[in-house]
Structure 1
Amino acid sequence: MDDRDFLPLAYLNAWEYCPRRFYWEYVLGEMVDNEHILMGRHLHRNINEVEVRVEGDRTIHQQQWVWSDRLRVKGIIDAVECQGDRWVPIEYKKGRMAKHFNDFFQLCAAALCLEERTGEAIEYGEIFYHGNRRRQRVEFTPQLRCTTEQAIEQARTAVDRSMPPPIETRSKCRDCSLQNICLPKEVRYLQRQS
């Protein structure tokens, strides 16, 4: 498999969070740590090991590598629980449960990859949010699947274009590790002046 043109699943999360962040990270290769990145890395330390374990009638595969030849995406799912012919992809995130569509898209894309690899339909996945210490179930509805595939295509197309403008969601900019490189406030100011 020549995977040089396969979009990593983690960058799909970045695309939905902010197209400009995606461009900085994926196209330009800029990565900066902040407290959110460091905390996420710290919380992932126990699940970043490849492992297969059995708990009752479930088999849990940690750090499961998947890809889709059709969508040209690839990545690692934090965990996949298998019970009979039912597969449930699981991602671990540092925040709190909410409507984090960037997380939903990443999880759905992982499920689409897993479906292609196994031939099994996957109805839902789960995201474990450390902030609540709970799992949030994400149904893979036809709408979410379609929107995820559209996001993959939009992200792929953005690679060959100029950098997107800053988003208007200032809370995302405030929490972004790339804020001091991206300079969204300053760029928005200059855009208004021209």
Structure 2
Amino acid sequence: MPPTEQGATMNPRDGTDYLPISMLNQWAYCPRRFYYMYVLGEMEHNAPVLEGMLQHERVHAGGVESEGEARVHRRVYVWSDRLRIAGFADLVEVRGGVLLPVEYKHGRMGRWLNDHIQLCAQAMCLEERTGRPVPRGAVFYWGSRRRQVVELDAKLRARTEAAIVQARALAESGALPPPLTHRAKCRDCSLEPVCLPREVRRLREEAAGHGGAGGSCEPWRRST
């Protein structure tokens, strides 16, 4: 059976949990957000999330269309038995026998590693299912009304496989990660009222007996 947006799907042959591809994006954006959504099943909707859902309605309708020389498959279910991941690609364009997965995102174009990891995971699933190489994909950003081509090189593939391992390990650890120190990411996150990052950081600082929290922030953000 195809997975839900948040829950894992089960391999009917051996009962193995398959990590939803969309959750890799959440993990790369913020491990704490991933844990709330995937492990605890929390989800809140703010204005950007609702707008993104509306923008996705046509893409998620499914079906096959012809656009010029390309054949466009909408909402394609993909999975990898090797990586134990599964999910949906918004679009898969087939042009001259070459597959191009396309992911749609709400925000503006940028170097968002979390989006690239999600796209790369879809591509690796397509390669396993079809036996064809998928050298690149694309992300369409509604905020910019432009498509960004992403080269699926060895470095991105290695990061994607590492993300899968780390996300699964976090889910199995049973430990809620601390909040990020990236205030802009927390401000834009729909789960901020549940996560309470400022309050948690303040309590940690008081418990530690000093007035400053260290730590670095990741060089990416979620575009939703």
Same fold per superposition (TM over 0.5):
yes
- Root-mean-square deviation (Å): 1.0
The match for 2:128 is: 116
Counterpart AA for 1:185: R
Give the count of matched residue pairs: 194
The match for 2:169 is: 157
SS of residue in 2 equivalent to 1:33:
coil
Alignment of structure 1 residues 25-104 onto 2, 5 Å = 25-104=37-116
The match for 1:106 is: 118
Unaligned runs of 5+ in 1: none
Q: Does 1:179 align with 2:192?
A: yes
Counterpart AA for 1:15: W
How far, CA to CA, are the matches of 1:82 and 1:191 in structure 2?
A: 51
Percent identity between the two aligned chains? 50
Counterpart AA for 2:193: N
With 126-135 and 3-12 compared, the bigger mean Cα shift is at: 3-12
Per the normalisation by structure 2, the TM-score is: 0.85
The match for 2:206 is: 193
How far, CA to CA, are the matches of 2:153 and 2:60 in structure 1?
A: 29
Alignment of structure 1 residues 123-138 onto 2, 5 Å = 123-138=135-150
Counterpart AA for 1:132: S
Q: CA deviation at 1:106?
A: 0.4
SS of residue in 1 equivalent to 2:199:
helix
Unaligned runs of 5+ in 2: 1-10, 208-224
Q: CA deviation at 1:5?
A: 0.8
